[in-house]
Amino acid sequence: MRLRNIPRAGEVLSECKEVVKNYKDQKNAWNTVFGNDHPIHIEIGMGKGQFLLSLAAHNPQINYIGVERYSSVLLRAVEKFQLLREEPAGQPSNLRFLCMDARELPEVFGPGEVEKIYLNFSDPWPKARHARRRLTSEAFLSLYARILPAGGTIEFKTDNRSLFDFSVEEVSRSSLFTLTGQTFDLHRDPQMSRDNIMTEYEEKFSAAGNPICKLTARRDL
């Protein structure tokens, strides 16, 4: 997702205290940012934020961090978050945002600091020469392994069958992860779709008739 540059993005994001600016300084100390020791779950490529805003509201015992590399996109998520001020339930206190590239993850989180990683509708990068840029490639899996503890998990959803098949293969080949679940039609899979929260892309693509694929993986010892 890439929106046209939005001039106010810089100002809105810099004034929002939930957007953590000096994020590399928080490595190994994210519990102090949240003021508690609750587990940390992150979404990489959070887009406009619907999924994480909903998770944060439903699960106050988990701390959530949304990672998005484009400020124009993150702005949409932050504006949604700010509108919650007007709602009776208010803004969840267990949610932070980072404007950064996933490649920086090991500089931002220490070993085992993140319990779970969500990847939703990641960019497919269909050309073979761009395979390493896919967020489920071996290169990214080894970055994730550096911040997840043994037993930590990854959940990935997409409607793009070639990206999904590639991802299942990368996880299956990896010595760092075990594939723990997969479905080619999440919305018709009663077990895997339990408590499913739809992302913006998931709503759009499933309304267009595309089945949604999902895999789960566990970080090995």
The residues carrying an active-site annotation are 123
User: To the nearest whole angstrom, how small is the minimum distance from the Cβ of residue 123 to ligand SAH?
Assistant: 5
CB atoms within 10 A of CB 209: 7
The verdict on 159 binding ligand SAH (CB under 6 A) reads no
CA dihedral sign of residues 77, 133, 197, 28: negative
Residue closer to ligand SAH by CB (options 101, 169) is: 101
- Residue 37 CA to residue 30 CA, distance in Å, equals 9
Instruction: At 118, give phi and psi (nearest 5°).
Output: -105, 135
Range in contact with ligand SAH (rule: CB under 6 A) among 13-21, 116-124, 167-175, 205-213: 116-124
**Which of 20, 41, 45, 95 is the binder for ligand SAH (CB under 6 A)?**
45
C-beta nearest to ligand SAH: residue: 45
**Which of 26, 63, 122, 182 is the binder for ligand SAH (CB under 6 A)?**
122
Helix (H) or strand (E) holding 156: strand 153-158
The verdict on 117 binding ligand SAH (CB under 6 A) reads no
**Which of 11, 25, 37, 101 is the binder for ligand SAH (CB under 6 A)?**
101
Q: Which residues contact 117 (CB under 8 A, 6 or more apart)?
A: 41, 42, 43, 44, 144, 147, 148, 152, 153, 154, 155
Residue closer to ligand SAH by CB (options 46, 154) is: 46
